[in-house]
């Protein structure tokens, strides 16, 4: 008997349908009992050499079969509805949790493993809830009542039926701990194989370029062999479990038949009682046989339950304790006040007391060498990289932790150098930001991002499907579509993190001019390595080693010949000349 707290919790939203499915299973069992009683009466009449009243009894048997067929179909429909309720509810819960947590960040948390839990693991929970749980309840309730009925006819039959039933139900529990361990090993091997396959498919261009396809195939073969070994190991224990159950069922039935025959020979029971004991003995074990069959259907859910629990109870990088909605009526001011932060496990701080103000409705650029803390600063603003270890960040005059996470992130449109486009049309990808956006608004955002003409040139214009991850587009086109999506969101804060890194300098300059128009009335934070792309910013903040090195306009910072900004400009000019 497999009872896992996570799966029982998942079944709660479907209590109504599950109760109905269980009741219908009881009704189906009732038709089996009615059939057994009617057959016992019919066989007793035949044994006495009379056919009087035989036709109504056989008609009753046929009616029981017909009613059982209808009840069985009804029960399966109700069970399917219960399973669907659990499946959709559990997936919604897990997906909502993933939306709160973001992408897995731990070294051992892989997208393929999460996919296996969300798809195959939840399917296993469906089978567990809709098929195994109702049958378990019937198995626990019905056999004791049948034993009582047998005792009224032939008390000695209890001496063989009771031990056999107890053996069939509880002897396999001796292997539960071993079976649970084997199930976890099997699910772990399955998750690892699923993760490796997804990773290999996503990284196939890189594998081909590195000549590593053969080595990856060999690793996948090893994973597949490990899964095979784990499956066989689990099946060995499962077969022992099934063997003991079948032995108890068959042995108990045979022993009950011998007792019934002995009772008939000795004259303790009449023919009707003898046949009734034979029929009821078989019915005592029917729920156990059905439970053994459904056990295999629900076992996948039990194997995946720990992974589902881990995903459902995982904690995010930051707690969502804010109570204020980030609904700014106009572009807010953003202040970084003595912000300090050290990444978990890092020896050195990423930020060492950063202080500056991004003025409302203006563009503030953040520049500096790699490792200066630019991306960390944006991650803290969006509450994706945790919260500051010291100091604070305010948006619109309030601490950014006072806002709910969903509203804070909704009020800040972000374009990063890592863009993601879905297997959908150009228009659908753009409308992710604003589903109700009109065609004119969509095209205006695309023009501002410098991508409108190229989208019109596609085979079906804005209705062209771009493929998974935007496979049919160039890197620059993907980046500009992401930029258009952010502009279409019309958020009061716009964050551009290397948003034009995949665009050539000439197109970048044209996009920059369009962005200046599109950014009016918004508070913009721009992170860039190419200093040419931030020359027109209202203010430039230079970071170095997690500290603010300088703040000023492009002209002011260039004028400081010994400053970091001037050196970065000179280095960029030198590299450009060399190129």
19-43: per-residue pLDDT in tens?
Answer: 999 999 999 999 998 988 888 888 8
User: Does residue 504 fall inside a structural domain?
Assistant: no
User: Does residue 378 fall inside a structural domain?
Assistant: no
Rounded Cα distance between 212 and 231, Å, is 29
More confident residue, 573 or 364: 364
pLDDT confidence bin for 101, thresholds 50/70/90: low
Number of domains within the chain? 1
User: Does residue 380 fall inside a structural domain?
Assistant: no
Q: Average pLDDT, stretch 333-338? A: 92
**Helices 439-448 and 475-489, axial angle in degrees (round to 10):** 130
User: Does residue 172 fall inside a structural domain?
Assistant: yes
User: Does residue 376 fall inside a structural domain?
Assistant: no
38-97: per-residue pLDDT in tens?
Answer: 888 888 888 877 777 788 888 998 999 999 999 999 999 999 999 889 888 888 888 887
Round to the nearest angstrom and report the end-to-end CA distance of the chain. 71
Rounded Cα distance between 404 and 381, Å, is 13
CA 433 vs CA 142, 353, 409, 486, 493: distances in Å:
56, 34, 12, 7, 14
**Bridge-based pairing state of the strands 539-544 and 547-552:** antiparallel
Q: Which two tokens stand for residue 292?
A: 């053994």
Residue 338 phi/psi, 5-degree rounding, is 50, 45
Residue 560 phi/psi, 5-degree rounding, is -90, 90
446-467: per-residue pLDDT in tens?
Answer: 887 778 888 888 888 888 888 8
CB 183 within 8 A of CB 302: yes
User: Does residue 439 fall inside a structural domain?
Assistant: no
User: Does residue 354 fall inside a structural domain?
Assistant: no
More confident residue, 329 or 541: 541
3-state secondary structure of 96: helix
480-500: per-residue pLDDT in tens?
Answer: 888 888 888 878 888 888 766
Phi-psi region of 530 (alpha: psi -120 to 50; beta: other; left: phi over 0): beta
- Range(s) of the domain holding residue 26: 5-312
User: Does residue 27 fall inside a structural domain?
Assistant: yes
Which CATH number does the domain housing residue 266 bear? 1.20.1560.10
123-141: per-residue pLDDT in tens?
Answer: 888 888 888 888 888 988 8
Q: Which two tokens stand for residue 22?
A: 């269980």
């Amino acid at each position: 008997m497999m009872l896992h707290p996570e799966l029982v919790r998942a079944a709660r939203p479907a209590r109504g349908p599950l109760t109905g499915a269980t009741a219908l299973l009881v009704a189906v069992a009732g038709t089996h009992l009615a059939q057994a009683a009617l057959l016992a009466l019919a066989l007793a009449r035949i044994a006495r050499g009379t056919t009087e009243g035989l036709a109504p009894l056989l008609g009753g048997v046929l009616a029981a079969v017909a009613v059982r067929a209808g009840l069985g179909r009804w029960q399966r429909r109700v069970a399917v509805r219960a399973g669907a309720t659990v499946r959709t509810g559990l997936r919604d819960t897990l997906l909502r949790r993933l939306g709160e947590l973001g992408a897995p960040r731990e070294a051992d948390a892989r997208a393929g493993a999460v996919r296996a839990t969300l798809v195959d693991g939840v399917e296993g929970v469906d089978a567990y809830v809709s098929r195994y749980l109702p049958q378990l309840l019937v198995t626990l309730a019905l056999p004791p009542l049948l034993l009582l009925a047998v005792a009224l006819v032939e008390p000695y039959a209890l001496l063989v039926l009771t031990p056999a039933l107890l053996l069939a139900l509880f002897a396999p529990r001796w292997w539960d701990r071993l079976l649970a361990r084997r199930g976890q090993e099997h699910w772990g091997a399955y998750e690892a194989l699923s993760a490796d396959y997804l990773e290999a498919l996503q990284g196939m261009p890189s594998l081909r370029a590195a000549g590593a396809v053969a080595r990856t195939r060999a690793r996948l073969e090893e994973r597949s062999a490990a899964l095979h070994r784990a499956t066989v190991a689990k099946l060995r224990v499962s077969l022992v479990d099934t063997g003991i159950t079948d032995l108890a069922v068959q042995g108990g039935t045979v022993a009950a038949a011998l007792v019934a025959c002995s009772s008939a020979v000795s004259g303790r029971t009449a023919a009707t009682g003898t046949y009734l004991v034979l029929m009821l003995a078989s019915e005592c074990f029917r729920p156990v046989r059905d439970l053994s069959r459904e056990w295999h259907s629900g076992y996948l859910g039990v194997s995946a339950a720990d992974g589902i629990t881990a995903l459902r109870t995982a904690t995010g990088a930051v707690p969502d304790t804010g109570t204020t909605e980030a609904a700014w009526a106009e572009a807010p001011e953003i202040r970084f006040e003595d912000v300090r932060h050290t990444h978990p496990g890092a020896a050195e701080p990423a930020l060492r007391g950063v202080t500056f103000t991004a003025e409302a409705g203006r563009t503030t650029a953040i520049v500096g060498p790699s490792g200066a803390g630019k991306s960390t600063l944006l991650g803290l603003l969006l509450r994706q990289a945790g919260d500051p270890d010291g100091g604070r960040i305010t948006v619109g005059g309030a601490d950014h932790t006072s806002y709910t996470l969903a509203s804070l992130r909704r009020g800040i449109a972000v374009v990063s150098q890592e863009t993601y486009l879905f297997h959908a049309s150009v228009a659908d990808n753009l409308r992710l930001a604003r589903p109700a956006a009109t065609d004119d608004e969509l095209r205006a955002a695309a023009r501002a991002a410098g991508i409108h003409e190229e989208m019109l040139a596609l085979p079906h214009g804005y209705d062209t499907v771009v493929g998974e991850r935007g496979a049919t587009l160039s890197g620059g086109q993907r980046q500009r579509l992401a930029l258009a999506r952010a502009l279409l969101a019309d958020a009061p804060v716009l964050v551009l993190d290397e948003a034009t890194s995949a665009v050539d300098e000439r197109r970048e300059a044209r996009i920059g001019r369009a962005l200046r128009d599109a950014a009016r009335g918004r508070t913009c934070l721009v992170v860039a390595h190419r200093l040419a792309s931030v020359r027109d910013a209202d203010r430039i903040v230079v970071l170095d080693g997690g500290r603010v090195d300088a703040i000023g306009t492009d002209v002011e910072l260039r004028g400081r010949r010994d400053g970091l900004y001037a050196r970065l400009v000179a280095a960029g000019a030198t590299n450009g000349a060399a190129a």
